């Protein structure tokens, strides 16, 4: 295949992956608006414990669906997957994209019940976005010698952009209780992004890979992951870090509107703060995966450690600042959270995958861990708030767990790797 065609194909697949991240991660980062609207307007008689199941289920299905799909694939013959190969024009991606785009459009026309919201937004939408995300990333990894860990670094900042756009677009209509218009905005953004990504994938031929031990359409033949001690430590630490990433965008609008600090503009103020923080997250999300950051002075492991510490500290600042008197401190803390979370979201799948062998199985295990940790964090915060726990205790626990567990785990892994290098802590990891 000519090099020019390969270059064009990689560009198209990269753009498709960016569009998928824009829609998928943008949807996850805007779940706080839907929780706020359901808790205050749509389902005011439903407890927060039940309502939190919707974002928790959406998070866990999104991150765990690639691993669940692989498990189902392992039970079926390899010939079955020829239907899902590139020769099928990726119709399976088109079907999942159409499902994800249709979910917010049909939800306002269904009975306003908790069960309908849970099934449509939590299960159907989360799993559809998770399938598109996992499949697109696998296709992009084909252009990087099937190194899915390296492919996961590409275009990470587009997810933060999608979160900012969807937060502002949805709230522009939900603030006037126009749920149908808000759903149309969300559905149109998802549809344009995912359908454009599908069109780019259809016109992007896969590069030949004669040395690869597996093919893009044969998920049964992937090599086993290497679960070393370092890998186990990092996977557990990522599970502990995930609540610090997912709980703040889910609960920040609801928590800030329950305090007197927003004056006459609530709840628009926390939505604007969160959107600005996600825009700020674009900078580290674009810079940290760069080659310079991964090879000079700060390696991926060191970058993850630094970003984790900043993320946890920002959560602690939000928790323990006197909200009614220190609104500027809350704004600064949320902006610090955005700057740190961009770096975490860019590399938190890459670092453990390196110790797991860089293959697809390793990425699926890490992704499932992220989903489990995020869902547990969302449910735990809801349970604590329902029992009367103050924001200091709730977010303090989330930030403290991330600070202690992840900081300690990454430090241990760094010590284990550097112990036999002869260069001490100067080694770039």
> What's the pLDDT at 358?
56
> Residue by residue, what is the 3-state secondary structure of the chain?
CCHHHHHHHHHHHHHHHHHHHHHHHHHHCCHHHHHHHHHHHHCCCCCHHHHCHHHHHHHHHHHHHHHHHHHHHHCCCHHHHHCCCHHHCCHHHHHHHHHHHHHHHHHHHCCCCHHHHHHHHHHHHHHHHHHHHHHHHHHHHHHHCCCHHHHCCCCCHHHHHHHHHHHHHHHHHHCCCCHHHHHHHHHHHHHHHHHHHHHHHHCCCCCCCCCCCCCCCCHHHCCCCCCCHHHHHHHHHHHHHHHHHHHHHHHHHHHHHCCHHHHHHCCHHHHHHHHHHHHHHHHHHHHCCCHHHHHCCCCHHHHHHHHHHHHHHHHHHHHHCCCCCCHHHHHHHHHHHHHHHHHHHHHCCHHHHHHHCCCHHHHHHHHHHHHHHHHHHHHHHHHHHHCCCCHHHHHHHHHHHHHHHHHHHHHHHHHHHHHCCCCHHHCCC
Q: Worst-scoring range by mean pLDDT, 192-201, 255-264, 291-300?
A: 255-264
Into how many domains does the chain fold? 1
Give the residue, 405 or 372, on which the prediction is more confident: 372
pLDDT(83) > 80 = no
Give tens-digit pLDDT for 307-334: 777 887 777 777 666 554 567 777 888 8
Q: What is the mean predicted confidence (pLDDT) over 124-153?
A: 87
> What's the pLDDT at 270?
83
> What's the pLDDT at 222?
47
Q: Both tokens of residue 258?
A: 């329950």
Contact between 241 and 406 under an 8 Å Cβ cutoff? The reply is yes
> What's the pLDDT at 328?
78
pLDDT(12) > 50 = yes
Give tens-digit pLDDT for 221-275: 444 555 566 677 777 777 888 888 888 899 888 887 765 544 434 578 888 989 9
pLDDT(408) > 60 = yes
> What's the pLDDT at 213?
35
Give the residue, 304 or 264, on which the prediction is more confident: 304
pLDDT(10) > 70 = yes
For residues 350, 282, 122, 95, the Cα torsion angle rounded to the nearest 10 degrees is: -80
pLDDT(172) > 50 = yes
Q: Worst-scoring range by mean pLDDT, 108-117, 134-143, 318-327, 360-369?
A: 318-327
Q: Using pLDDT thresholds of 50, 70 and 90, give the confidence band for residue 169.
A: very high
Range of the domain at 249: 3-426
Give tens-digit pLDDT for 355-400: 666 566 777 888 888 899 889 889 988 888 887 766 656 666 666 6
- For a pLDDT cut of 70, what percent of the chain falls above it? 71
> What's the pLDDT at 2?
47
> What's the pLDDT at 288?
79
> What's the pLDDT at 139?
87
Give tens-digit pLDDT for 25-68: 999 999 999 998 998 888 888 998 899 999 999 999 999 988 88
CATH number at residue 133: 1.20.1250.20
* pLDDT, mean over the chain: 78
> What's the pLDDT at 257?
78
Residue whose C-alpha is closest to residue 253's, from 362, 136, 170 = 170
Give the residue, 299 or 185, on which the prediction is more confident: 185
């Amino acid at each position: 295949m000519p090099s020019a065609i390969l270059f064009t194909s990689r560009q198209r697949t990269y753009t498709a992956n960016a569009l998928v991240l824009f829609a998928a991660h943008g949807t996850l980062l805007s779940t706080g608006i839907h929780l706020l609207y359901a808790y205050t307007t749509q389902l005011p008689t439903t407890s927060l414990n039940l309502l939190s199941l919707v974002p928790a289920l959406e998070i866990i299905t999104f991150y765990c669906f690639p691993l669940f799909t692989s498990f189902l694939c392992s039970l079926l013959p390899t010939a079955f997957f020829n239907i899902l190969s590139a020769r099928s024009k990726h119709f399976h991606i088109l079907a999942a994209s159409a499902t994800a785009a249709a979910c917010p459009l049909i939800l306002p026309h269904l009975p306003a019940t908790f069960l309908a919201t849970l099934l449509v937004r939590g299960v159907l939408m989360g799993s559809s976005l998770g399938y598109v995300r996992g499949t697109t990333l696998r296709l992009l990894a084909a252009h990087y010698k099937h190194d899915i860990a390296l492919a996961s670094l590409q275009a990470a900042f587009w997810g933060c952009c999608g979160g900012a756009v969807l937060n502002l677009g949805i709230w522009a209509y939900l603030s006037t209780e126009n749920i149908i218009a808000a759903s149309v905005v969300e559905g149109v953004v998802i549809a344009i992004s995912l359908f454009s990504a599908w069109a780019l994938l259809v016109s992007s031929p896969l590069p030949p890979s004669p040395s690869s031990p597996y093919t893009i359409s044969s998920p049964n033949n992937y090599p086993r992951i290497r679960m070393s001690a370092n890998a186990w430590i990092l996977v557990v630490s990522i599970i502990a870090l995930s609540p610090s990433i997912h709980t703040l965008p889910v609960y920040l609008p609801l928590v800030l509107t329950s305090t007197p600090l927003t004056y006459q503009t609530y709840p628009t103020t926390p939505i604007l703060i969160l959107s600005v923080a996600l825009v700020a997250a674009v900078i580290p999300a674009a810079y940290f995966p760069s080659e310079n950051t991964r090879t000079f002075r700060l390696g991926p492991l060191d970058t993850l450690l630094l970003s984790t510490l900043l993320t946890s500290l920002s959560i602690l600042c939000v928790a323990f600042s006197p909200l009614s008197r220190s609104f500027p401190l809350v704004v600064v803390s949320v902006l610090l959270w955005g700057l740190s979370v961009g770096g975490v979201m860019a590399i938190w799948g890459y670092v453990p995958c390196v110790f797991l062998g860089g293959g697809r199985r390793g990425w699926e295990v890490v992704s499932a861990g992220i989903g489990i940790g995020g869902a547990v964090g969302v449910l735990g915060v809801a349970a604590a708030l329902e029992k009367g726990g103050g924001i200091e205790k709730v977010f303090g626990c989330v930030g403290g767990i991330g600070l202690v567990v992840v900081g300690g785990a990454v430090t241990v892994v760094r010590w284990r790797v550097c112990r036999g290098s002869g260069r001490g802590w100067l080694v770039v990891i």
